[in-house]
Chain A
Amino acid sequence: MGNYYIKRVISAFITILIIASLTFFLLQLIPGGPFTRERQLPAAIEERLNERYNLDKPVIVQYGIYMKGLLTFDLGLSYRILGTSVNELIAKGFPTSAIIGGLATLLIIIVGVPIGIISALKQNSTVDYIVMFAATIGVTVPSFVIATVIIYFFAGQLGWIPTFGNSKPLWWIGPTIAVSGYSISFVSRLPRSSMLEVLRQDYVRTARANGISEYKVIFKHAFKNALIPVITYVGPMIAAIMTGSFVVERIFALPGMGGYFVESVTNRDYTVTIGMTVFYSVFYIIMVMFVDIAYSFIDPRIKMDS
């Protein structure tokens, strides 16, 4: 068991190094550099800047310097936001993204999972059709449309919430709904299909034949088995939505991580792009590990030591 976790951590570490290296070299392949602008800088200044940020050295040396920093958790300085390190940017943007993402995750689990179970139990009823219709719409409508609609009705017409900002909890409602829209719809379909499948299993019939009440058949015998696809999806989803959505953060003018990330790509802000990618990867890998651990708790057939 312990051995398994050591192996997992080592492989996660190697994965992150590979991701960082790939991102580094891929960014080098893009023409231009951080200081290539429409208005040409004086040669002397550009030279000084390149020297300051080690951009005058061969790529392989730059790579060595960057990796050395990465190993000491130093993600380097941003090229564009002067005097600010990538670590600081993450520290500034992540809390906002994490609050919205965390709330969205809660909403997804509290609303999506029960909806899926209800529609499975009421399969082919009006409730089921309505829920599945809404879920299909939710999956297909992009978050910026949801965000715009929320702003138009709840902020514009009704005036219940402000159009932007995040200084009061009430203001988090809009972005939370916009971020969770897709995943609520997606998550609600997962327990529905897995529940329908599990309820047809022989062991459910055995439980019924042994006089177990319908409530327990559903919530003890079927539910635990139906949970696996939900956990498989929710784990990585948490990493994705807690690191911020560029679109939603833009629309609601939130200072989250998503904004920095997308801007860094257009600005050739190499260090920020790699830093954010590495941060997201670490988060993602941790969540996947949690999912694997959760599997072994739910299903004893899945063992952690092989």
Chain B
Amino acid sequence: MKKKILEVKNLKTSFFTHLGEVQAVRGVSFELNEGDILGIVGESGSGKSVTSLSIMNLIEHPGKIKEGEVLFYGKNYNEEIYSKIDLENPSEEDLKNIKLYGPIDLSKLSNSEMTEYRGNELAMIFQDPMTSLNPVYSIKNQMMEVIRRHTDMNKEEALERAKELLSMVGIPDPKGQINDYPHQFSGGMRQRALIATAISCNPRLLIADEPTTALDVTIQAQILELLKDLQSKTEMSIILITHDLGVIAEVSTHVVVMYGGMMMEKGTVEDIFYNPQHPYTQGLYRSIPKSTAKTKERLIPIEGSPPDLMAPPPGCPFSPRCPNAMKICLEEAAPLFKISDTHTSACWLMAEDAPVVKGFKKTKGAK
């Protein structure tokens, strides 16, 4: 069995603005194993970026993680010791061992404690490489700063490591270009430099928040290829946030579909692409242009717009736009129905006593 890296449990993050509470993430749970590439897909405002920032504990004022746990199984995690602990009824020594060898709840750490993990065991890259590097410091300076922050390397060693990383991410002349300033790099090169910095301390988990959105298509493909390649070399796990199903199909092993701050469907990439069991996921597929389509064939959009997260609908967030919505959908959010060991869907159509709708399979035993 693969080792677990991250376990997000019932995460709720809100932004407390002057106008009221914006419930950006409303109860998200998922797990990530070593080597997995988890794609989180959803439209703007679905809560995917806030989820990733919550994992990094980088939510800024007025945002706050309201509830839930982000359990990280980092370098300190010792399965042998941890599995022996009676979690229901821990002794004093057990409590000490849980602290030392158990998973760490990142959402409970202070900012200064968090800096030990960020850029070290956990790393993150962002959407816009053009603005994500500090324009007034050289690539060398910014990379060495991170390397020396988390390791005991001296200047020469850190410089060597930085050059090695740059050549790993495909910068043609790392020796010369490491002295360059960000403005001398193209967008794609900047994203490569940012990836190099992010993986400099061999993170167990890399979060990539729309890493290719700001790049043109050919560069997008190269960056995705690079991430896949680095993942296979280093065995790190990746969470890839995107609104592009094509990107997910290309690199992910697992997928979480988010809408209105909640999870709609979760499964392996095969589950989600070959057997989508949520009206929202199916709607997303219908709105993708097909290369096999006849001319003038119209795309089928999802009518309506995403919910107002200041006052989210009491039921399923997708119910106002859902072609299959039932009475219960408007009143109560569906639990995650288990379709297979890997595949779950938060749709009432999965319930045993739900009406039969073409394209949906009911799960056994669920009500």
A→B interface (CB under 8 Å): 201-203, 205-214, 216, 220-221, 224-225, 298-301
| Chain A hits for B198, CB < 8 A | 209-210
Decide if B44 is an interface residue (CB 8 Å cutoff): no
The one of B119, B133, B181, B194 that contacts A212, using a Cβ cutoff of 8 Å: B119
* CB closest residue in chain B, given A215: B112
Known: A202-B126, A210-B197, A212-B115. A224 touches B136 (CB 8 A): yes
Q: Is B56 an interface residue (CB 8 A)?
A: yes
Given contacts A212-B145, A214-B112, contact A221 B58 (CB under 8 A): no
- Shortest Cβ gap from B217 to chain A (Å): 22
**Does B108 count as interface, using CB distance less than 8 angstroms?**
no
- Residues in A with CB closer than 8 Å to B136 are 224-225, 298-300
- A–B pairs, 25, beta carbons within 8 Å: A202-B126, A203-B133, A203-B134, A206-B194, A208-B58, A208-B118, A209-B119, A209-B126, A209-B198, A210-B118, A210-B119, A210-B123, A210-B198, A211-B114, A211-B115, A211-B119, A211-B146, A213-B115, A216-B145, A220-B145, A221-B134, A300-B181, A300-B183, A301-B181, A301-B183
Instruction: Let me know if B76 is at the binding interface, CB within 8 A.
Output: no
Report how far A212 CA is from B200 CA in the complex, Å. Answer: 14
Residues of A within 8 A of B197 (CB): 210
Contact A211 B150 (CB under 8 A): yes
- Cα A300 to Cα B145 in complex, Å, equals 18
Instruction: Determine the distance from Cα of A207 to Cα of B135 in the docked complex, in whole angstroms.
Output: 12
Counting CB contacts under 8 A, is B111 at the interface? yes
Q: On chain B, which size bracket covers the interface?
A: 20 to 34
User: When the two chains form their complex, are residues B135 and A203 in contact, meaning their CB atoms are under 8 A apart?
Assistant: yes
B46 at the interface (CB under 8 A from A): no
Determine if A206 and B126 form an interchain contact, defined as CB atoms under 8 angstroms apart: yes
Choose one: A202, A212, A213, A298; the contact of B132 (CB below 8 Å): A202
B120 contacts A by Cβ under 8 Å: yes
Q: Which residues of B contact A (CB under 8 A)?
A: 56, 58, 111-112, 114-120, 123-124, 126, 128, 131-138, 145-146, 149-150, 181, 183, 194, 197-198
Query: Contacts A300-B181, A300-B183, A301-B181 known; A209 to B135 CB distance under 8 Å?
Result: no
Q: Which residue of A lies closest to B146 (CB)?
A: A210
Which residues of A have CB within 8 Å of B133?
Answer: 203, 206
Residues of A near B56 (CB, < 8 A) are: 209
Option from A201, A206, A211 in Cβ contact (under 8 Å) with B116? A211
Question: In the complex, what residues of A have CB within 8 A of residue B119's CB?
Answer: 209-212
Assuming A214-B111, A301-B181, is B131 touching A209 (CB within 8 A)? Answer: no
B153 CB to closest chain A CB, in angstroms?
15
- The reply to whether B135 and A299 contact each other, CB–CB distance below 8 Å, is yes
List 10 other contacts, CB 8 Å, given A203-B134, A210-B146, A214-B112. Answer: A202-B131, A202-B132, A203-B131, A203-B132, A211-B116, A211-B120, A299-B136, A300-B181, A300-B183, A301-B135
Once the chains are docked, how many angstroms separate the CA of A221 from the CA of B138?
Answer: 12
In the complex the two chains form, what is the Cα distance from A216 to B142 in whole Å?
A: 12
Of A206, A213, A214, A225, chain B has the most CB atoms within 10 Å of the CB of A206
- The residue of chain B having its C-beta at the shortest distance from the C-beta of A216 within the complex is B145
A275 to B146, CA, bound (A): 55
Q: Which residues of B contact A213 (CB under 8 A)?
A: 112, 115, 149
Report the minimal beta-carbon distance from A30 to chain B, rounded to whole angstroms: 49
> Could you tell me the distance in whole angstroms from the C-beta of B204 to the nearest C-beta in chain A?
14
A221 cross-chain contacts in B, Cβ below 8 A: 134, 137
Which chain B residues border A210 with CB–CB below 8 Å? 118-119, 123, 145-146, 149, 197-198
Give the CA-CA distance A206 to B191 in the complex, in Å: 12
**Beta-carbon contact of A212 and B146 below 8 Å:** yes
Contact A212 B149 (CB under 8 A): yes
**CA distance in complex: A221, B132 (Å):** 12
Q: Please, which residues of chain A bring their CB within 8 A of the CB of B194? A: 206
